[in-house]
Amino acid sequence: MRRAVSALVRKDLRVELRTGEAVPAMLLFSISTFVLFHFALDRRSVDGQLAAGVLWVTLLFAAVLAMGRLFVAEREQGGFDGFLMAPVDRTALLVAKAAVLLCFLVAVELAAVPAFAILLLGPSPWAVLPQLCAVLALADVGVAVVGTLVGALGIQTRTRELIVPILALPLMIPVAIAAARATAPLLVEAGAGGLPGRWLAVLALYDLVFGLLAYAVFDYLLDD
C-alpha cells in the first residue's frame, strides 16, 4: 500500500512539476479573484468576517479547478487500466490522489495567502499565523478528500467541467461555514480574537466523515 501510494504521488508530482498544469493556474485564479473582489466590493482593505469570506471563497473556488484535472491523465492516458491490473489495493489511488490534491492546495496557499495579505487584508496576519495554519490545514484535508471523490465522480461523466463544480460547491458549504467562521476572529482590525475551537471541531468532524465515506465508496468508482 505504502509503495503504491508513494509511486502514484511521485508520478503525479513529477508530471505537475514538468507541465505546471494545476498549481500555477490555481494561483493565478486566486490572485485574479482577489483583484476582482477589490473592485466588486470597492474596498481598499477588508477585515474580520468579510476578509475570511473573501479568502475562503477564493481558495475553495481555486480548489475546484484542481479537482476537475485530478483524474484526467488516468482516464485519457490509460492510468486507470494500468493501476487496476497491478496487485495493489485500490484505496491506494484514493490516498495518493487526496495527498496530491493536498500538496497542490498547500502550494497554492503558500503564495495566495501572502498575496491576500498584501493586496486586500487590513490587519497584519503574521501574529496569528499558527492559528491560521491550523485552520488551513484542517480545511485542506477535508477539501482534498471531497475533491478526490468529486473528481472521481466527475471523470465518469462526459461533462466533467460542469459536473465537478456543481457537485463540489454544495459539498464544501460546511467547510466554507466552519473555515470562514474560524478565520474571522483572527483577522479583525481591533486585534486578533481567540481561535474558536468549535469550528475546528466541525472541520475535524467533516474530515473524518468524508475520509471514512471516501474509503468506503471509492473502490466502486473504479469498478467497470
Three-state secondary structure of 9-72? HHHHHHHHHHHCCCHHHHHHHHHHHHHHHHHHHCCCCECHHHHHHHHHHHHHHHHHHHHHHCCH
**Distance in Å, CB of 53 to another protein, minimum:** 13
Q: What does residue 115 show for φ and ψ, rounded to 5 degrees?
A: -60, -40
Taking CB under 8 A as the criterion, which residues in 186-215 touch another protein? 198, 202, 205-206, 209, 213
Taking CB under 8 A as the criterion, which residues in 75-114 touch another protein? 77-79, 81-88
| Tally of CB atoms within 10 A around 77 | 11
Q: Which is nearer to another protein, 72 or 192 (CB)?
A: 72
**Distance in Å, CB of 118 to another protein, minimum:** 30
Binding mask 165-184 for another protein (x = CB under 8 A): -xx-xxx-xx--xx--x---
Which grid coordinates are listed for 14?
513529477
* 120, 149, 182, 187: which one binds another protein (CB under 8 A): 149
**Interior/surface letters 85-124, b for 16+ CB within 10 angstroms, e for the rest:** eeebebbbbbbbbbbbbbbbbebbbeebbebbbeebbbbe
User: Interface with another protein includes 224 (CB under 8 A)?
Assistant: yes
* 36, 133, 157, 189: which one binds another protein (CB under 8 A): 157
Q: What does residue 121 show for φ and ψ, rounded to 5 degrees?
A: -80, 130
Which grid coordinates are listed for 163?
459536473
Taking CB under 8 A as the criterion, which residues in 31-50 touch another protein? none
CB 152 within 8 A of CB 218: yes
* 1, 14, 133, 189: which one binds another protein (CB under 8 A): 14
Q: Which is nearer to another protein, 82 or 114 (CB)?
A: 82
Sign of CA dihedral 66, 123, 201, 136: positive
User: Interface with another protein includes 15 (CB under 8 A)?
Assistant: yes
User: Interface with another protein includes 217 (CB under 8 A)?
Assistant: yes
Q: Which is nearer to another protein, 18 or 44 (CB)?
A: 18
* Positions that interact with another protein (CB under 8 A): 3-4, 6-7, 10-11, 14-15, 18-19, 73, 77-79, 81-88, 149, 153, 156-159, 162-163, 166-167, 169-171, 173-174, 177-178, 181, 198, 202, 205-206, 209, 213, 216-217, 220-221, 223-224
